[in-house]
Chain A
Amino acid sequence: MRSLIRGRMAWVLAAVAAILVASLGTGRAASPPSEINIGTLYASTGPFAVSSESEYRGLQFWAEGVNKEGGVFVKAFDKKIPVKITAFDDQSSTSTATTLYNQLITQNKVDILVADFGSVLTSVAVPLAAEHHMLLIDPTGSGANFFTQKTDYLAEVSLPASSVWPVPLALFLLDHKIQRVAVIFGSNDFDASQAETLKALLEKGKVSPVYFHAVPTTESNYQVLLHTLAASHPDAVIEFGYAGNDISFLRALASSGLHFDMVFTVFPGQLFDLLIKNVGVKTLSYTLTYPTAPLVTYEKVTNGLNTADFVAAFKKATGRDANFLDVAGYNAGVIIEKMLGTATEFSQLAFHSALMEMSGNTTTLVGDFKINENGAQVGELLPVAQLQPEGRGLKIVVVYPSDKATGKLVNPAPRR
């Protein structure tokens, strides 16, 4: 009798265990969440606040849009689910960001993790995401150091890796036979990786930079640096910095009395209005930049709004003119939306597989989405454009590559 009871109990226990294991394995598929929790950080203060807030605004705009339609379609549950954004303020501080990313993963248990703006604030999220086996959606952290090995936990979605950015620029300089190139750059992943790529490509073309120096990321006084740089008699001056660096650099150049035939900076192509306000039309005239959406437009898209429609809808919803970072934040949402609509399971690895599946056959308002096995964005290449005077303002003229050119380069730039 005792052995019979023991035998029955064993069967009952085995059945309970089997049910428990089964429910653990498929629990999420059986009971879809009431909302998709997307965790992210933004900076309301500090050097990255302008860019970070724009990017966050773009993501919010996307979330509001999909929620109006009843949420995002999640293939794993075969239904639409509303989106919730859980966001904390890292105040542009990497140490604060580290704590907050950790909180999003371990306390808030977000379903999808989106990095804050730029390489500096993304740098602390990359190892954390990998450690916790979370896929990090990285809108604009393009530092080349992030993408050195194969990973299932990182995907750069709205910008090419910074090591890819200067490829068209290097080809452009070689194509125009610019022999004396000066490069000044911020000592951070984003700027340094651009500078190193440019240098390597130029050297491959038998051009050695006549000036190649890093400056602190917080550099705000370029007067003496410009004078030192001018002593190398460059034909082209390339400055890789964040928006604040570009403003200080261009203003110092304008007031220094120095003239260079060709000047390149990064952020006029991303934060055009901010640079115009701070630097002025005259100083920006004939300088070169990487133009990004919405300054360059993509009409035919496979997912989300195209560039022109986004600009109009964003203006209507927020009353603001969209800049690139608004676009980047929105684009991150569009990629997440397609990822959820593609992934057959609701798991981080399935999300990554979905992104790899989307790679090469998805076009959004920033161009062709294409990631490699290291998570780097290798599509969405940035052309080279010149800011040319038009009336009382400036127009963006794409000058390289030639198949995308919308006008002719003016070189040397006229003296101010």
Chain B
Amino acid sequence: MALLEYAIIGGILYGIFFSLVGVGLNLIFGVLRMINLAHGQFIVLGGFGAWIVYQYLKLNPAFGIVLSIIGAIIIGYPLYWAVVPRLQKSADPEMLSFILFFGLAQMIDAAMILGFGVSQRSVPTETLGAGNIGLLGQTFPDSWWVAAAVAVLAILGLYLFLTRTRLGFATRAVTANRAEALASGIEVDRISLLSFVIGLALAGVAGVFIPFLLGSVSPSLGDGLTTTSFAIIIIGSLGRPIGTVVGGLVFGLGTMLMETYLPSWSDLVPYALLVIIVLVRPSGLLGRAVRQT
């Protein structure tokens, strides 16, 4: 019973964190109708940001969050203007974005290898707290709780932005129907740009905690994180950022339960869930027919 409790609490914490890992990808897809296949690479860049902050600036790696946001703005604006408007004008932006961002992912991988080498980089766990915090008698490292707390705050912030601000309303309008939003006078390009940058920033912020939850950060992690994120947002609801939370929780709980009782099969979890969801409920657990245009 204790093992089950541990797996459930661990799964919830892990799942909340993975909601943050996937939410940026979902936001960008929802608004731009583009699949950012370089999403995992932006997460890894966030991880290296935390490592740089700790290693060279001698600051707490949590300051990597600030660096990730600044980095998302610096990279996101020019990248958006360089590629997105051209893609939007093409006959099949979804498919072209797939190819373009795949190429971008390979470029970022290569640049990270040039900059950081192929070795794993870590940040001491104690920098986010040296102890363990318990819940219902089950203890987890401080870093897990911090990662989950930051994920909750970031997703809550995104939720409030989408439901309480004018820009958020406009973002939802673009997500619901881009053509109608344009016809009703919404500055679709501006909203798209903002969503793109927020999506990258959320990826970077998630990356800050990768060295803590996955042991280390290295350039090779990117593709795996993209695939997992993709599975999570399909499980939750493709195109609905808040649905990612449900996808993340299902992924986290599934993974931890499998690790407890059938560890050798645990990496099948996201893909098995993805296949089941696509077959049974193609719009995701929280989904509507979001891909209608």
**Which residue in B3, B119, B122, B139 is a CB contact (below 8 Å) of A228?**
B3
Apart from A46-B220, A221-B255, A221-B259, 14 more pairs, CB < 8 Å: A45-B219, A47-B220, A50-B120, A92-B220, A216-B264, A223-B140, A223-B141, A224-B256, A228-B6, A247-B120, A251-B122, A255-B143, A277-B122, A278-B216
Query: 28 interchain pairs (CB within 8 A)?
Result: A45-B118, A45-B220, A46-B220, A187-B264, A213-B264, A215-B259, A219-B263, A220-B216, A221-B14, A221-B214, A223-B140, A224-B6, A224-B10, A224-B259, A228-B7, A243-B120, A247-B122, A254-B125, A255-B132, A255-B141, A255-B143, A256-B141, A277-B122, A278-B120, A278-B121, A278-B122, A278-B216, A280-B124
Q: Does any Cβ of B come within 8 Å of A395's Cβ?
A: no
B259-A44 in contact (CB<8A): no
Distance from A292 Cβ to chain B, minimum over Cβ atoms (Å): 18
Q: What is the chain A residue whose CB lies nearest that of B124?
A: A280
Q: A247-B120, A279-B122 are in contact. Are A49 and B220 (CB under 8 A)?
A: yes
Q: Does any Cβ of B come within 8 Å of A4's Cβ?
A: no
Q: Does any Cβ of B come within 8 Å of A304's Cβ?
A: no
B263-A225 in contact (CB<8A): yes
Q: Does any Cβ of B come within 8 Å of A257's Cβ?
A: yes
A-facing residues in B114-148 (Cβ within 8 Å): 118-122, 124-125, 131-132, 139-141, 143-144
Q: State A65–B204 Cα separation when bound (angstroms).
A: 45
Q: Does any Cβ of B come within 8 Å of A144's Cβ?
A: no
Distance from B152 Cβ to chain A, minimum over Cβ atoms (Å): 19
- Tell me what chain B mostly uses at the interface: helix, strand, loop, or mixed: helix
Most buried by B among A216, A225, A252: A216
Interface size on B, residues (CB 8 A): 40
Chain B residues near A145: list those with CB within 8 A.
none
Q: Does any Cβ of B come within 8 Å of A344's Cβ?
A: no
Distance from B145 Cβ to chain A, minimum over Cβ atoms (Å): 12
Q: State A255–B264 Cα separation when bound (angstroms).
A: 23
Distance from B156 Cβ to chain A, minimum over Cβ atoms (Å): 24
Q: Does any Cβ of B come within 8 Å of A53's Cβ?
A: yes
Chain A residues near B109: list those with CB within 8 A.
45
Q: What is the chain B residue whose CB lies nearest that of A229?
A: B263
Chain B residues near A45: list those with CB within 8 A.
109-110, 113, 118, 219-220
Total A-B pairs, Cβ < 8 A: 111
Chain A residues near B213: list those with CB within 8 A.
221
Distance from A15 Cβ to chain B, minimum over Cβ atoms (Å): 59
B-facing residues in A271-317 (Cβ within 8 Å): 274, 277-280
Q: Does any Cβ of B come within 8 Å of A227's Cβ?
A: yes
Chain B residues near A22: list those with CB within 8 A.
none
B118-A49 in contact (CB<8A): yes
B216-A244 in contact (CB<8A): yes
B-facing residues in A204-226 (Cβ within 8 Å): 213-216, 218-225
Q: Does any Cβ of A come within 8 Å of B266's Cβ?
A: yes
B118-A50 in contact (CB<8A): yes
Q: Does any Cβ of A come within 8 Å of B218's Cβ?
A: yes
B143-A220 in contact (CB<8A): no
Distance from B192 Cβ to chain A, minimum over Cβ atoms (Å): 31
A247-B216 in contact (CB<8A): yes
Q: Does any Cβ of B come within 8 Å of A5's Cβ?
A: no
Q: What is the chain A residue whose CB lies nearest that of B224?
A: A218
